[in-house]
Amino acid sequence: MRHLKRGRKLGLKTGPRKAFLKILTGNLIQHGRILTTEARAKELKKTIEKAVTLGKKQNLSALRLLLRRLPRKSAYKLYHEIAPRYSTRKGGYTRIVKKVKRRKHDGSKMAIIEFV
């Protein structure tokens, strides 16, 4: 039973899953919008919302935490460019737009995740 077990496994073990989410988060920050599966987008949304909230604090400890959790280039971009845009917003920094067409080879539901 999965009582109190949160999050999706995405078909990966713990270490590779954390690394994959770190890379996916970095790509979203760098490009502003990415096309991925629905499950990955929903899991990524949790990670990115927490990162933006942390970046909004605009202090040294928040920057250091972001550098620990994200690739360096993405952490700086989030801290200096993206987080200040959402300084007055209380949440909901990303949106997931579900695509009608499924992926061809395995039929996965696809979605676009982007910053609001």
Render pLDDT for 65-85 as a digit per residue (tens, 0 to 9): 999 999 999 999 999 999 999
Q: Taking the CA atoms of the chain, what radius of gyration do you get in angstroms?
A: 15
Nearest by Cα to 113 from 46, 32, 58, 19: 32
pLDDT at residue 59 in the model: 95
| pLDDT classification of 16: cutoffs 50, 70, 90 | very high
Is residue 111 within 8 Å of 41, Cβ to Cβ?
Answer: yes
| CA count, 13 A, side-chain hemisphere, 37 | 14
Domains of the chain: 14-115 (3.90.1030.10)
Tokens of 115: 């910053």
* Confidence label for 47 from pLDDT (cuts 50, 70 and 90): very high
pLDDT at 2 over 90: no
Count CB neighbours of 26 within 10 A.
Answer: 19
3-state secondary structure 53-82: HHHCCCCHHHHHHHHHHCCHHHHHHHHHHH
